[in-house]
Chain A
Amino acid sequence: MTAAWTADQPMVKCTDVRKSFGAFEVLKGISLSVRKGEVICIIGPSGSGKSTLIRCINALVPITSGTIHVEGIDVTDPQLDKLALRRKVGMVFQQYNLFPHKTALQNVMMAPLHVLRQEKGAVEERSRALLAKVRLAGKEDSYPGELSGGQQQRVAIARSLAMRPDVMLFDEVTAALDPETVKEVLVTIRELVEEGMTCMLVTHEMGFAREVADQIYFTDHGVIVEHGPPATFFTEARDERTRQFLSQIL
């Protein structure tokens, strides 16, 4: 299965994904696909299963039925090598989740050093470059507690990029930030998009979604209500629920 995957096939492919927590069905048959270099934004009201969906993709949450393939890796395979999957998929969380006992630089260096077992000098050099890239040169030795929310989130992005993932998942990464720091994080993500990184974003930033996304998916109550390129999605939404949501948020 893994060998069969080629770059012209979807990088992430979800087919009829269902997920229940007890009797409560959060995802009721989600299908979507993301091609290499594509950026998709998932929007929708709270509790519609957006975050759950994105967590299923790197197997943080096991799904109940359906299939997910990431670069040909079957995520639902019981013999799945989760670590191999997660080396391909980077993830950034709403609450940053930096390791508070490590400096910014150490946070970025940890995974390449201990998971990929790369050589320390090279990892450090690359990590410093990544921190500079997210505009945090000079903050290498700061601990997460000494950084602002926006700065912490950029360290988290750099930490994830240090693993050289093929896909990046962003789970409402600006939702916990002060309005004035949201922008600096979005700028960082936009640069990634411009470099051709494949991205899946769960977001409430409609303006940003409109700007960077190739496809926008609107989810409500565990189903994808509709999707389309931003140019048509925002202006020609067909479904009543989508229109209502957009009218509330725009």
Chain B
Amino acid sequence: MTMPPDLRDRLPVLLPFRLCRSKTQHRLGAGSGALLCVSLVLFAATASAQAGRVVPSTLQVIAKWAPLLLTGFAFNILISAFAMLLGTITGLGLGLGLLSELRPIRQVSWALTQIFRNAPWLVLLFFVMFLVPFQITIFNVRIPFPDWVKATVGFALPVMANVAEVVRGAVKSLPSTQWEAAEALAFTRRQTMWRIILPQCIKRMLPPWMNIYSLVTMSTVLASIVGVSEMLTLTAQVHAAEGGRPELFAPLYGFALLCFFLYCYPINLWTAQLERRFQTR
């Protein structure tokens, strides 16, 4: 159907959504990152200036509780590191399953990948929290599963699925001539994968892998919902311990925000840098 040109001009149209508007992506530079940190501190200071003199100032409160809160943050990092380790190992296996020559293995791996990639992380976390017992007894040996271990497993599941997809994508992105060359030299499929294909993929997998890590780190605060005493849980407890003063709300949570930002932002900068370097090659 055609329409008169004057009418076409007046019709509202939905412009196509573009992920990257330009080639130079709008990334936070190191300078603006620092500016953001300073403004966060200023934000806290302003809040403290508004508070009365009778009660300790906001900065004093934060300084007092910082050791405890940072222990909580260390716990977040611990959970994220273990989740990443577990998720990477299992994800590599699952990714190889996606590339298997055997159809059933491929299908099962595909189903697992899709389930864990397309489920909200919190839902997966709940599942693991409530489905895994707090301890298992095997041959009279009790293996306890504390909450944080379960949370780690809960986070490892989506990591696994995402890593599997990264592995599959990287392997598929290599030219098939590499497989051919290895085949012609009488390498077995397994040897080709481990000695020729995967080593070449590491470079391609590194940036998306780091991206996943940064996402996991930020998601670890979800564990507070299921009662793991990580940073966000502790922040809420500290806030309550300080009498739940409303003016402390922003500074305390701002401190948590700052910690995560200072940890994840350099990772993202580094990832972007690696991506650029591998692109030009």
The docked-state distance in angstroms from the alpha carbon of A84 to that of B186 is 8
Q: Assess whether A115 is in contact with B184, with CB atoms less than 8 Å apart.
A: no
* Chain A positions within 8 Å of B177 at CB level: 93, 95, 97
The answer, yes or no, to whether A160 is at the interface (CB within 8 Å) is yes
* Chain B positions within 8 Å of A111 at CB level: 185-187
The docked-state distance in angstroms from the alpha carbon of A91 to that of B177 is 12
Q: Assess whether A115 is in contact with B186, with CB atoms less than 8 Å apart.
A: yes
Q: Assess whether A114 is in contact with B191, with CB atoms less than 8 Å apart.
A: yes
The answer, yes or no, to whether B178 is at the interface (CB within 8 Å) is yes
The docked-state distance in angstroms from the alpha carbon of A110 to that of B178 is 14
The answer, yes or no, to whether A45 is at the interface (CB within 8 Å) is no
Q: Assess whether A93 is in contact with B181, with CB atoms less than 8 Å apart.
A: yes
How many Å from the CB of A113 to the closest CB on chain B?
Answer: 10
How many Å from the CB of B252 to the closest CB on chain A?
Answer: 49
Q: Assess whether B187 is in contact with A101, with CB atoms less than 8 Å apart.
A: no
CB-CB contacts below 8 Å: B178-200 with A = 178, 180-188, 191, 195-196, 199-200
Interface size classification for chain B? 10 to 19
Q: Which of A58, A100, A114 has a CB less than 8 Å from the CB of B184?
A: A58
Q: Assess whether A99 is in contact with B184, with CB atoms less than 8 Å apart.
A: no
Interface of A is mostly: mixed
Q: Which B residue's beta carbon lies closest to that of A81?
A: B186
Q: Assess whether A101 is in contact with B200, with CB atoms less than 8 Å apart.
A: yes
Q: Which of B180, B183, B184, B185 has a CB less than 8 Å from the CB of A110?
A: B185
The docked-state distance in angstroms from the alpha carbon of A91 to that of B184 is 6
The docked-state distance in angstroms from the alpha carbon of A8 to that of B10 is 85
* Chain A positions within 8 Å of B183 at CB level: 60, 82, 86
Q: Which of A95, A101, A160 has a CB less than 8 Å from the CB of B185?
A: A160
How many Å from the CB of A6 to the closest CB on chain B?
Answer: 24
Q: Mark A77-113, 1 if CB is under 8 A from B, else 0.
A: 0000011101101110101011111000000001100
How many Å from the CB of A43 to the closest CB on chain B?
Answer: 22
Q: Assess whether B180 is in contact with A60, with CB atoms less than 8 Å apart.
A: yes
Q: Assess whether B186 is in contact with A99, with CB atoms less than 8 Å apart.
A: no
The docked-state distance in angstroms from the alpha carbon of A82 to that of B186 is 7
* Chain B positions within 8 Å of A91 at CB level: 184
* Chain A positions within 8 Å of B181 at CB level: 93, 97-99
Q: Assess whether B186 is in contact with A87, with CB atoms less than 8 Å apart.
A: yes
The answer, yes or no, to whether A163 is at the interface (CB within 8 Å) is yes
* Chain A positions within 8 Å of B196 at CB level: 99, 110
The answer, yes or no, to whether A50 is at the interface (CB within 8 Å) is no
* Chain B positions within 8 Å of A159 at CB level: 185
The docked-state distance in angstroms from the alpha carbon of A89 to that of B186 is 9
Q: Assess whether B187 is in contact with A114, with CB atoms less than 8 Å apart.
A: yes
Q: Assess whether B180 is in contact with A86, with CB atoms less than 8 Å apart.
A: no
* Chain A positions within 8 Å of B191 at CB level: 114-115
How many Å from the CB of B151 to the closest CB on chain A?
Answer: 37
Q: Assess whether A93 is in contact with B186, with CB atoms less than 8 Å apart.
A: no
Q: Assess whether B186 is in contact with A83, with CB atoms less than 8 Å apart.
A: yes
CB-CB contacts below 8 Å: B5-19 with A = none
* Chain B positions within 8 Å of A84 at CB level: 186
* Chain A positions within 8 Å of B188 at CB level: 83
How many Å from the CB of A122 to the closest CB on chain B?
Answer: 18
Q: Assess whether A86 is in contact with B185, with CB atoms less than 8 Å apart.
A: yes
13 contacts between A and B (CB under 8 A): A60-B180, A86-B184, A86-B185, A97-B177, A100-B200, A110-B195, A111-B185, A111-B186, A114-B187, A115-B185, A160-B184, A160-B185, A163-B185
Excluding A99-B181, A159-B185, 18 further A-B contacts by CB distance (< 8 Å) are A60-B183, A82-B186, A83-B188, A84-B186, A86-B184, A91-B184, A93-B184, A97-B177, A97-B181, A99-B200, A101-B199, A101-B200, A110-B185, A111-B185, A114-B191, A115-B185, A115-B186, A163-B185
Q: Which residues of A contact B (CB under 8 A)?
A: 58, 60, 82-84, 86-87, 89-91, 93, 95, 97-101, 110-111, 114-115, 159-160, 163
8 closest Cβ pairs, A-B complex: A97-B181, A86-B186, A91-B184, A111-B185, A83-B186, A97-B177, A115-B186, A87-B186
Q: Which residues of B contact A (CB under 8 A)?
A: 177-178, 180-188, 191, 195-196, 199-200
